Amino acid sequence: MKAYFYDNLPGDQRLPHDSGRPVDVDTLAKLGVLYYHFPDVSGVDELASQRGYRNRDEITVSPEKMGAVYEEKVKTFFDEHLHEDEEIRYIRGGQGYFDVRSKDDDWVRVQLEKDDLLILPAGIYHRFTTDESNYVHAMRLFKDEPKWTPLSRKPELDENEHRRGYVKGFLG
């Protein structure tokens, strides 16, 4: 895992966009973003048990697996959004970037690779993209039935109870 402020320069979203300003794990934790490294799935199983994640699935994001919809899907994942549930991803192969908003509303880019696990709290604005390899294989964990409902950022979303809870708990 490597985390840093996004450079906001034009160019393909799959490029590193590394500003040269690193962000450490403690700073991520203050945003509610939790990072773990599990070289074995047993660590994921233990965390799932501790946090009450009862369901999981796996997804491969690549042109080979997704075909013609790949580019459209990657653009959809990169649209700034939040979820009303935690988002948990364990990287089984490949690499990808999760971008999360800092306390000052700047983007922090988190580069994940094999054996990295990231937990994003409900209500945090974020986005995702593959890197230039165009390949990531991830396990998704869920507390209830698997669902992935993105709510795109817009002013009225600030009144969403999950967004308000996030702001109060981590940004307030």
| CATH code of the domain containing 98 | 2.60.120.10
Q: Is residue 172 part of a domain?
A: no
Which of the four pLDDT bands, split at 50, 70 and 90, describes residue 148?
confident
Q: Is residue 124 part of a domain?
A: yes
CA angle 94, 5, 153 (to 5 degrees): 85
**Does the structure show a pLDDT above 90 at 93?**
yes
Q: Is residue 110 part of a domain?
A: yes
Q: Is residue 131 part of a domain?
A: yes
Reported as a single tens digit per residue, the pLDDT across 4-63 is: 999 999 999 999 999 999 999 999 999 999 999 999 999 999 999 999 999 999 999 999
pLDDT of residue 133: 97
Q: Is residue 170 part of a domain?
A: no
Domain boundaries, position 151 = 2-164
| Tokens coding 98 | 């999760």
CB 3 within 8 A of CB 24: yes
**Annotated binding-site residue? 81:** yes
Distance between CA atoms of residues 88 and 19, nearest Å: 26
Reported as a single tens digit per residue, the pLDDT across 134-145 is: 999 999 999 887
**Number of structural domains the chain divides into:** 1
**Annotated binding-site residue? 137:** no
Q: Is residue 102 part of a domain?
A: yes
The CB density around residue 118, as the number of other CB atoms within 10 Å, is: 24
Q: Is residue 136 part of a domain?
A: yes
Distance between CA atoms of residues 11 and 41, nearest Å: 35
Q: Give the pTM.
A: 0.95
